[in-house]
Structure 1
Amino acid sequence: MSELTNFVAVCNEADINNDEVKEYNFDENNKILLIRQNDRIWAIGATCPHQGAPLVRGVLGRGRIRCIRHGACFNIRTGDIEDFPGLDSLPSYPVEIAGNGEVRVRARVKDLNKIRRTKEMVEYDQTDERIFLLVGGGVAAATCAETLRQEGYTGRIIILCREDILPYDRTPLTKVWQVDIEDIYFRDADFYEQNNIELMLGVEAIKLDSTMRTVSCSNEQMITYDKLFIATGSKPSKLNIPCADLRNVFSLRDYRDVQAIVHALKPKTNLIFVGGGFISLEFSSIVINKVKSVLVISSNKYPLADTFGYEIGERLLQLYREKGVQMKMESRVKEIINDDGLRIIEVRTVDGYKYPCDVLVIAVGAVPNTSWLIDSTLPLNSDGTIDTDMNLMTVEPNIYVGGDIANAPILPIANQRKNIKHFQMAQYHGYIAGINMAGPIQELRAVPLFNTTLFGTYFFHGGFGSVHEISIHGDLKRLKYVAYLFDRDGNTSYVTTCSYDATVANFCELLSQGKRLHRSEVVDKSNPHQWMDKLVDTRRNRCDC
């Protein structure tokens, strides 16, 4: 039986222009995306494998298409994933142009009725004595491991995972009530076994000797490595007041933390969050109807104002109060009161207010999990991060770092180093580190973007830089808007949107091309998004705000 179907005529060559994307039916069960660029026509899968968004609405860049929902990018020639989130690639389809201009496409039989494709991986070779050690059980290490096999590395791959469960996606933990751990695994156990990726679950790295190329582990084992990728993530910052270790006082970082908090919550619970960041706001929005009361205590005037700007922060404050969340702003916790030395009953703030409390969640930031490296020769910055070069290599030969601990180059600010604690950035780091550890050299072109969901409203945010001014287009009150945040020179540092809008994806694709967007390009209130027509390789996806 042939591995390929027969060719199917889907359109005429004249039906699709350069820099245009169109969706066609390959058969009654399969849709394909035709993309024409530089007078070549390519065919790939029509649906983003991350969460099923239609890519016909995506942003076409130079040789790739970006999903507008979460920003994943796919090569238009091969369908391979090149930026994240997500692990899987798109099917790609051979194309031929007939003499009469008819565009014909055929499919690999194994790709039919599938929206995702896992890139081919080389097999482990027992004669290859190299050991690549990946420290950390998050998305950076998981992506690095897969990339190593995809890039031709045939030696041993060992992942040290502090948690005793398979690597999983942490992003739903504060967005979905009682998520099932099996639903958020990146891959199942069979995948790691089939690709000879060794997982050491429940094992932490406790010491690095870069001279001897060894890592000592919490299970008293010492591993000698040839190359090392460190992606140990971050750990919750502590609240430096007495009684912060009482029963029913929690931090929120991993699956076990969430399970413990959910177990402690009852319909009569008075729940308090300390900290006004994403963890507190996301989790409070899904728990508000499951407990007696929810209070957020924050030292800021408005929630997330440092990220979205004061105007949007003020609207978020209003939203949370409308939804029944008590918001105690510009305040701090002074004292935690208990009744028996074990259980919390009350929280007092510095301005003298008292609040009943049965469960306290401390979410006041995170610090890099690098304390185990203090006595090593690997230099740590004062904040615990580690500097990298454009390839994610450190000053120590054959040691790479990524994710929350990396102080790495960021493209929008001329590749100055910054520490970005975003899921998408951690995954991109794992991908780039895997490529460079395997042999080919690929430099970072890091453009940060992230998303959050608050009370069912989707926020998408991309870019990086300082903020001096904000320009909001649309209806902020109805939470349907696009906002541009400018630095002092008028360059756009960030674009943020509410609802599934293509503007952020366009902006990130623009930044990935090494370009900038100036305030003068968006001041026209009648058409603030005209810059998409001449700065990005597409003429689609204007906002209809």
Structure 2
Amino acid sequence: MSSNQHFVIVGGELAGAKLAEALRANDFDGQVTLLAAEDDLPYERPPLSKQHLAGDQQLPDFTVDSPAWYRDHHIDLRLGTTVEAFDPAARTVSLPDGSTLSYDKLALATGSRPRTLDVPGAEAGNVYTLRTIGDSDRLLEVLRSKHRLVIIGAGWIGLEVAAQARARQLEVTVLEAAELPLVSVLGPQMGTVFAELHRGNGVDLRTGVVVDMILTEDGVATGVQLDDGQVVPADAVLVAVGAQPNIEIAEAAGLATGTGVLVDESLRTSDPDVVAVGDIAEELHPLLDKRVRVEHWANALNQPAVAALTMLGKPATYDRLPYFFTDQFNLGMEYTGYVGRDDDVRVVVRGDVAKPEFVAFWLDRDNRVRAGMNVNVWDVTDRIKELVTSGEPVDPERLADPNTEL
């Protein structure tokens, strides 16, 4: 493409950095501007609730690229720059100082932000969320200096932080509105596995509860009150009730949106000059034959390669299956595939759940594998992918038999 073209990337998270990499890897010699809201170089987020909280990694260990890389590849990286809006008709981006930036192609990689609680006391000084390195630094200080942590929400972030807090001998209470942790993602059978894991490691996991307010004294949280009047004392509170995709500028610009920004299999939005990647991309997935939006690291890592080709006018399709992983206590897990919360599926397990060392499969009515989760069993992800993508029915009894090759 012509060297006088200007591609602008809005969002300096992993997806934005990888998109800049992919453009240069595909020999785009035009101008690339990467607008990053945070003041830090783009970095990966999984360590924020894992290795960084454990004290095993610092920010440079999971920063995507060095300052020299951006300089050497002529990327105009602007840190601390939050985009206010963009105009698809004029093909301009509005910057915080009131100026505008013209573009030929635009990529939205705006990520998401933590959901908040609309209850009294939620603004207290020692009530935390986890999304940025600054958030993780503050939580690390809590784990080093406090004794009682209350976590509201038993999703991935809440449970991972709970595991790190227990490793430092904090008293941890997790409050979850649903009857089991992760039940909307994994269903009741596997949700029970995680409930037993945490209770077995000393977490006071309370499910089916509703938070009424966060009690404060002189602007500092001292506990969490439930709607039945029970009070859970706290030195610090983490709110981990999910993420909200940052799609407001896309909506204001008139792009088609749903739970995220609607994109086709090439990650192109309803505007042919705009692509979207990462947390915000709600893709019409060619293998799953439905729209999916996945807030996980693998999408931010892998979608940019396809989006770059689309921006360059080359054919490309994003057909990777959703993938995510977690590490909690003695449980390491990878999940491959996709099951919607309303899908009619059943779980078939091969291995020992109590150990835990097993693989769980989600099968539809026709005994086709929709997803698989390997727990402390490694080097099977490719086999799981093959089972999901084949679309062929399987024999559930053979699938459950560890002596039968996947």
User: Shared topology, TM-score over 0.5?
Assistant: yes
Offset at 1:502?
2.8
8 Å contact from structure 2 (residues 367, 396) kept in 1: no
Distance 1:167 1:370 in 2: 19
> What amino acid does structure 1 have at the position aligned with 2:270?
V
Identity of aligned residues (%): 28
8 Å contact from structure 1 (residues 472, 483) kept in 2: yes
Q: Give the aligned partner of residue 28 of structure 2.
A: 153
Q: Give the aligned partner of residue 49 of structure 1.
A: none
Q: Give the aligned partner of residue 367 of structure 2.
A: 490
Distance 2:145 2:17 in 1: 38
Residue in structure 1 matching 2:128, options 250, 263, 266? 250
* Structure-2 change in CA distance of 1:214 and 1:522 (3 Å): farther
> What amino acid does structure 2 have at the position aligned with 1:379?
A
User: Which piece of structure 1 moves more, 163-172 or 403-412?
Assistant: 403-412
Pairing 1:219-258 to 2, within 5 Å after superposition: 219-258=97-136
Secondary structure, counterpart of 1:374 in structure 2: helix
Distance 1:193 1:469 in 2: 52
* Structure-2 change in CA distance of 1:161 and 1:521 (3 Å): same
Pairing 1:152-301 to 2, within 5 Å after superposition: 152-176=27-51, 177-178=54-55, 179-290=57-168, 292-301=170-179
Distance 1:218 1:518 in 2: 54
Q: What's the CA shift string for 1:370-420, capped at 9, x where partnerless?
A: 223332122332x3x111112111111210011111110224422x21111
Offset at 1:299?
1.2
Q: Give the aligned partner of residue 364 of structure 1.
A: 241
Residue in structure 1 matching 2:291, options 414, 417, 422? 417
Secondary structure, counterpart of 1:395 in structure 2: coil
* Structure-2 change in CA distance of 1:138 and 1:337 (3 Å): same
Q: Give the aligned partner of residue 308 of structure 2.
A: 434
Q: Give the aligned partner of residue 207 of structure 2.
A: 329
Distance 1:395 1:267 in 2: 49
* Structure-2 change in CA distance of 1:322 and 1:160 (3 Å): same
> What amino acid does structure 2 have at the position aligned with 1:303?
P
* Structure-2 change in CA distance of 1:206 and 1:525 (3 Å): closer
| Runs of 4+ more than 3 Å apart | 264-268, 521-530
Residue in structure 1 matching 2:331, options 457, 479, 482? 457
Offset at 1:266?
4.7
Offset at 1:167?
0.7
Offset at 1:265?
4.1
8 Å contact from structure 2 (residues 147, 171) kept in 1: yes
Offset at 1:184?
0.7
Distance 1:234 1:527 in 2: 40
Distance 1:193 1:335 in 2: 49
8 Å contact from structure 2 (residues 398, 404) kept in 1: no
Q: Give the aligned partner of residue 350 of structure 1.
A: 227
> What amino acid does structure 1 have at the position aligned with 2:139?
I
> What amino acid does structure 2 have at the position aligned with 1:146?
E
Q: What's the CA shift string for 1:211-262, capped at 9, x where partnerless?
A: 0001112233311100000010111111111221111011111111111222
* Structure-2 change in CA distance of 1:524 and 1:492 (3 Å): closer
1:474 correspondence with 2:351? yes
Cα RMSD (Å) of the superposition? 1.9
TM value normalised by structure 1:
0.70
8 Å contact from structure 1 (residues 467, 493) kept in 2: no
Residue in structure 2 matching 1:141, options 16, 27, 33? 16
8 Å contact from structure 1 (residues 467, 485) kept in 2: no
8 Å contact from structure 1 (residues 281, 454) kept in 2: yes
Secondary structure, counterpart of 2:301 in structure 1: helix
Distance 2:310 2:250 in 1: 23
1:499 correspondence with 2:367? no
8 Å contact from structure 1 (residues 168, 185) kept in 2: yes
Q: What's the CA shift string for 1:419-476, capped at 9, x where partnerless?
A: 1111101222111001221232112213111111011421011011335211111110
* Structure-2 change in CA distance of 1:273 and 1:131 (3 Å): same
Structure showing the higher helix proportion among its residues: 2
Q: What's the CA shift string for 1:271-313, capped at 9, x where partnerless?
A: 1110010001111111214354111101122222333332222
Q: Give the aligned partner of residue 386 of structure 1.
A: 261
Distance 2:376 2:225 in 1: 37
* Structure-2 change in CA distance of 1:269 and 1:372 (3 Å): farther
Secondary structure, counterpart of 1:168 in structure 2: coil
Pairing 1:399-410 to 2, within 5 Å after superposition: 399-410=274-285
8 Å contact from structure 2 (residues 368, 393) kept in 1: yes
TM value normalised by structure 2:
0.93
8 Å contact from structure 1 (residues 266, 291) kept in 2: no
8 Å contact from structure 2 (residues 34, 76) kept in 1: yes
Distance 1:527 1:291 in 2: 37
1:446 correspondence with 2:320? yes
Residue in structure 2 matching 1:307, options 176, 185, 199? 185
Q: Which has the higher contact order (CA 8 A, sep 6+)?
A: 2
Secondary structure, counterpart of 2:119 in structure 1: coil
* Structure-2 change in CA distance of 1:133 and 1:525 (3 Å): closer
